[in-house]
Structure 1
Amino acid sequence: MNRGLKKLALLVCAFLLAVIVGCQSVGGLNMNDMLLKQLDVTHQEQSQLLEVELDFNEALLEAEDQELTKLVQMFQKVSLKIDHAKTDELGNAWAHGTFSFAKGDIPFTVHTDAKAIRIDIDGAKRPLVLDLKEFTGEFGLRLNLDNQQAFTQTVRDLLKSVAPYFVKGLPNPPVITVNRVNESVHGVATGLNKVHAELNGEQLGKLIPIYLDNLIADKEGLKAMLGSFLEWFEGLPAEVKQLIGLEELGDSDMLLGEISDMLHNTLVDARKELADAQKEPEWKQIFDAGIAVKVDLYVDDVLDVRKYALEANIAPSVFAEEDSPIRSIKVRVSGESWNVNGAVEVPAVKVPVNALGADDLDEMEGYQFVRLFEEDSVIYQLLKNDLQIDDQEFFISNQSWSGNFYLDNGGVQYVPLRATLRDFGIKLNVPEAPGEIRFYDRATEQQIVLRAGSDRATVNGKEIKLSQPLERSYGHTYMAADDLFKLLGAEYKVTVLFDDWKHMTVTRDL
C-alpha cells in the first residue's frame, strides 16, 4: 500500500474517532487540532491489540448443521495482537504479531516496501511475496520512488486542507473529560493528557443529524474545501492527471460553484431522508442504548496520540429479535506509539528463491495450499481438519455440451475423462505413444497412464486391470466412473433433478 493510501485510511480512522471524541475544545485541549495532527505522523513504532467477542443466538445455532456450529463457535472470540510494528519515512513497514482463536495462536510477520509485500506465517514452509507492480499497474510503473514521495506529500497536504471541514462540525459526546496523567508508554513514564469519552447508540442517533446540520450550515467551508481540492489537482504533474483520466478540469471558478452547489444540495437531501428515517421504528431499534462505546486517548504535549484504549459493546434491541443470529458484539482495541517521527529504520524486503507469488497461489488446488504448512502447526490443523479446504467437490451433468456422463445398457456409469480430470485440477501430460493418456495426480502422488479402447492402466509403473475399457464417443474419451474414481480416491453419487436431467456429485476427501 502506498503512503497516500495509508494517509487516506488514517483520515477515515480519524473521522471515526472524531465521532466519539468530538472536536470542540475540552479542558484546554483542542480536539480538532489533535485529530488533524495525526496526519503529520509519517513514521513511528507501535504495538496494538484488537479483540472481538461474539455472543451468538444459541437457539438458532442448535438448529444449524453441527459442523457449521462448531466452526462458528471456534471464532466466537478472536484477537489480533501486534507486538511490534514500525513504519519509516519512506513508507516501508514491518510488523510482527499473533492471530489467536479457540484452536490456538498463529504468529506472523508482514514486511512491505515500495516493491513488494512479504508475509511469513508460523508453520509455513515458504513465505508469500506479492509484487506490488501487479497491484499498482500502470500507475505504479509510471511513478518512480522519488515521484511517489512527492505525490504522497501532496496527498498529505490535501488531507490537511480538506479534513477540517469534515471534523470541525462534529459535536462532542455527552461525556468527555480531559485530565493530566502520568502513563507508561513502551516502558517510559510519560506526562500525557487523558481524553475520556463515552457515547451510546441513542446519543449517536441524535448527534448524526446535528452533524449534518453543521455541514449544511458551513456552506463557505464546503466551498473552501472544494477549492483546496481543485487547487491541489491543478498542481499535479501532467502524467499523473493522465493516469487518473482527468487531464483538465476546465474553468475552475465555474466548476467550483457547480460542484459546491451540487454537494450542498446532496447534503440537504440527505438531511431530509435522515429526518424521515428517524420516524421509522427501525431507527430506535438500531440507535439505542444497547450500543455503548468508551474510549481513552492519551495525548502528549505536541498533540500526538501516544496511547489509546477503546471498548465497545454492540447489542441494539434488533439483536434481541428471535431471528437475529447475534446477540451482542464486544470489541476492545488498545495500543501505544513511540519514536513518533523519530529515527525509524525498516530494511528492504528480502525475496528468497523459494518464495510463493500471487500466480503460484492462483494455480493451486486447495490440497496444495494446505501442504504448504507443517502438519503440526495450528494453521495446518485449521485449514485441513476444520475448514477442510483440501477436500474437492464438483458436479457433472448428463446434459452438458462439453461432455456429459451417461449410463450404458449394461448399467455402467461413464464420465468424460478430460473434463473430469480438469475438475480435479489434473492436467494431461504429452502422450509418449498414439492413443495414450498420461497424467500425474499430485493429490495422491500417482503417475497414471491409460490407453484408448483398453481396459489396462499403469499406475506408478505397475500395470492394473480396469473393469471396463475406455470408450470414445462424440469426440470425447469416456471412462467408467467406478474405475476412475477408485484410482483417484474419490466417491460419486447420481441425483435425478427432473425428467431425464441428472447430475453426478463427485467428492474427494484428502
Structure 2
Amino acid sequence: MSKMKARTRWLLPVIALLLVLAGCQPVGGMDVGKALEGNLDVKSSESSMSFSVKAVPAAGISAEDQAMVDLVNSFTLQVFNAKVQDNGNVSAAGSIGFKQMDIPFSLFMNTDAVVFNVEGAKQPFYIPLTDDEMTLALQGLDTAKAQELTKLLTKFIVRNLPNPEVINITPVTEAVYGEQLNLTKIHAEISGDQLPALLKEFLKSISKDTEGFTQVISGLYDYLYPMIKAEAMDNGNTLDLGFAEIPLDDKEAVVTVVHDAAKLGVDALLLVYDQQLARMYESTPELKTVLGKGTSLKTDIFMDSSLHIRKQTMDLNVALPPSDELPLESISFKAETQNWNIGGAVKADVISAEGALDVSTGSLTPGETLRNFETNSDVYRILKEDMGITKKEISIGPDDDYYYPIVDGNTTYVPLRYFAEDLGADVEWDTVNRAIVVTDDVYGDTLIFKIGSADVMVNGTKVKLEKPVFVDEYGDAYVPLRMLAEALHAKVEKAPDGWIDIVRE
C-alpha cells in the first residue's frame, strides 16, 4: 500500500497562500509560477514560523466583549524549528502565547499519526492518520502519482491566475536564520474589491486552458483509478457520472467527458457571474464591507538564486460589517516564515506514541483530559478556568418532566443514573454486590449505593442517608439530590419559586 507523503500535506497550505502571487505573465523577468512549482520538489528543509491575530473592536463595545477581544489578541503561535525529513516525517517545536502565558509544545507527524506534547502534560496525545476505512480507500494509491497530481494542479492554477494590480520584484539583502542573504523579493497586494474581478478572469482563463484542464483530470484519473475501479466492479466496471455511464478502463473517454462537463459548468457560471454577484450584494449587503477596500492581503516572498523560498511574510486584514453578534471593525492575521537547510540532511525529532492518549475519537472525557496535566500547569488552568471543560449546569423545576423529582419533607430526590450522568459521572451496576457504583469523572471519587439501604460508601467512608435508596414504578433508583450533587463537587441553590440550580465548576 502507498500513502501520500506527509511533506505534501505540510507544503499545501504554504503553496495555497503563495498562489496569489502567480499570474499568467512573468514579473520583472521572473516566472513566478515556475518558481513556485519548483518548491514542490523540495524533499527536506528546516523552517520557523510566527503567527498573530489582532481584532479591532467596534466603537462602544461592552466591557464583556472587550475582554473577549483582549483574549483573542493575546494569542500567538511561534514555531522555532520545523523539520521536514526526506522520508516525509515532520517535527516541530514551538510555543503558544495566551493571556501572557507562554506554553511550549512539540509535534511529530509521519504517514501513520500525529503525536504532540504540551508543557504540563503527563503523556503525549496522538491522532492516527489511518483507520480501517481510510486504509481500504488508500490501497493501490501511488505516492509518485499523488505528487505528480499536486504539481499538475499547482501549475494549472498558477498559470491561469491573473496578476494582481500591485506586484513587483526587487533585489534585497535579508537575514534568514541568522545569515545575511542576497535575495529576490516578490511583493504583492490585493484588496477585497479586486477579488471578484480576479476570480472572473481566473474562470475565463481556465475555461480556455483545455490542455491544462485535461492534464489535471488525466492525472486525477491515474491517481484515483485503483479506488474507483474497486467501486465500479459492483456497477459492471462502468463509471456512473450521473449524466453518463462510461467504461472505466476507457481513460480517454472518461477524461474527455469529465473535462467537457467541467468546462460547461465553468462557462455556465461565467454567463451569470455578474448577475449573481449583483444579487449576492443585494441580498447580503454586508459583503460590500468584507469585499471592499478595507480588506487587503499583502505578502512578500524572498527567493534565493536557486529560486528556493527562504522567507515569507503575510498580512491579511478583513474588514467586518457592523454586527451585535461580532462587535468588531476588522480582524487581521500576520505570519512570517523562514526556511533553511533546504535539501539538506534533516532528521525529524520523533515523539513516541507509547502511552499517548488518542484524541481522534472524541471519547476522552473532561476528567481524563485534565488528569493528563499537572494541576499547577498553565494548560490545566486554561482548560478548567478559561474553557470550563468540566463545568456542568442543571436546573430542575418543581414539575420537571425529565428528572421527575420527588419531594419528601425538606428533601428532594432525583433518579440517580440520569442526574449523575448529567454531571459527567460514570454509573455502573455491580452485579456481584448488587450495588450502583458512581465514579466522578473529574476527581475520581467513588460512591456506592445499594437499593433499600441508607448506607452509602463515599471513597470508602460510610455516609448515612435520611431515607434508604428506593426505586420508583419505572425502575429508576432515587437518591437525595443535594447529597449526590455535593459528592460530585457541585453546588446546589434553591430559589423561592421552587427551582433548583446545580452548578459544577
- Normalising by structure 2, we get a TM-score of 0.84
Matches within 5 A, 1:259-408: 259-279=258-278, 280-281=281-282, 282=285, 284-315=288-319, 318-320=320-322, 324-346=326-348, 348-352=350-354, 354-358=355-359, 362-364=363-365, 366-394=366-394, 404-408=403-407
Tell me the distance in 2 between the aligned counterparts of 1:195 and 1:216: 28
More moved, 342-351 vs 168-177:
342-351
Matches within 5 A, 1:411-422: 412-422=411-421
Cα deviation 1:90-110 (Å, max 9, x = unaligned) = 111110011112241111000
* CA deviation after TM superposition for structure 1 residue 337, in Å: 0.8
Match of 1:154 in 2: 145
Matches within 5 A, 1:104-503: 104-132=101-129, 135-140=130-135, 151-234=142-225, 238=226, 241-242=229-230, 249-279=248-278, 280-281=281-282, 282=285, 284-315=288-319, 318-320=320-322, 324-346=326-348, 348-352=350-354, 354-358=355-359, 362-364=363-365, 366-394=366-394, 404-408=403-407, 410=409, 412-423=411-422, 424-428=424-428, 430=430, 433-434=433-434, 436-441=435-440, 443-474=442-473, 475-492=475-492
Q: Does 1:79 align with 2:70?
A: no
Tell me the distance in 2 between the aligned counterparts of 1:73 and 1:177: 36
More moved, 334-343 vs 374-383:
374-383
Distance 1:294 1:448, change over 3 A: closer
More moved, 202-211 vs 274-283:
274-283
Q: Tell me if the contact between 2:6 and 2:89 (Cα under 8 Å) persists in the aligned partners.
A: no
RMSD between aligned alpha carbons?
A: 3.4
Tell me the distance in 2 between the aligned counterparts of 1:278 and 1:393: 46
Match of 1:7 in 2: 8
* CA deviation after TM superposition for structure 1 residue 83, in Å: 0.2
More moved, 437-446 vs 155-164:
437-446
* CA deviation after TM superposition for structure 1 residue 411, in Å: 5.9
Q: Tell me if the contact between 2:22 and 2:33 (Cα under 8 Å) persists in the aligned partners.
A: no
Q: Tell me if the contact between 1:428 and 1:438 (Cα under 8 Å) persists in the aligned partners.
A: yes
* CA deviation after TM superposition for structure 1 residue 10, in Å: 3.5
Cα deviation 1:428-478 (Å, max 9, x = unaligned) = 3626645x4344435455443333223332333433322322211121211
* CA deviation after TM superposition for structure 1 residue 479, in Å: 1.1
Q: Tell me if the contact between 1:212 and 1:271 (Cα under 8 Å) persists in the aligned partners.
A: yes
Tell me the distance in 2 between the aligned counterparts of 1:51 and 1:243: 45
* CA deviation after TM superposition for structure 1 residue 45, in Å: 0.7
Q: Decide which of 502, 505, 508 is 2:504's aligned counterpart.
A: 508
Tell me the distance in 2 between the aligned counterparts of 1:27 and 1:129: 46
Match of 1:41 in 2: 42
Match of 1:31 in 2: 32
Tell me the distance in 2 between the aligned counterparts of 1:69 and 1:480: 42
Q: Tell me if the contact between 1:120 and 1:127 (Cα under 8 Å) persists in the aligned partners.
A: yes
Tell me the distance in 2 between the aligned counterparts of 1:183 and 1:252: 49
Tell me the distance in 1 between the aligned counterparts of 2:416 and 2:101: 42
SS at match of 2:357: coil
Tell me the distance in 2 between the aligned counterparts of 1:456 and 1:449: 9
Cα deviation 1:322-345 (Å, max 9, x = unaligned) = 765221112111111111122112
Tell me the distance in 1 between the aligned counterparts of 2:158 and 2:233: 30
What is the percent sequence identity of the aligned residues?
Answer: 26
Tell me the distance in 1 between the aligned counterparts of 2:7 and 2:172: 31
* CA deviation after TM superposition for structure 1 residue 178, in Å: 1.1
- Normalising by structure 1, we get a TM-score of 0.84
More moved, 49-58 vs 275-284:
275-284
How many residue pairs match? The answer is 485
SS at match of 1:168: helix
Cα deviation 1:317-376 (Å, max 9, x = unaligned) = x52567652211121111111111221122554234x43233897242x24422322233
Q: Tell me if the contact between 2:169 and 2:184 (Cα under 8 Å) persists in the aligned partners.
A: yes
Q: Tell me if the contact between 1:60 and 1:323 (Cα under 8 Å) persists in the aligned partners.
A: no
Which runs of 5 or more residues in structure 2 are unaligned?
239-247
Q: Does 1:102 align with 2:99?
A: yes
Cα deviation 1:408-427 (Å, max 9, x = unaligned) = 46464221112322333223
Cα deviation 1:160-212 (Å, max 9, x = unaligned) = 22332222121111121112223222222322211111221222333221222
SS at match of 1:486: helix
More moved, 200-209 vs 30-39:
200-209
Cα deviation 1:256-305 (Å, max 9, x = unaligned) = 22211211111122223431244335354332110122211111222211
Which runs of 5 or more residues in structure 1 are unaligned?
none
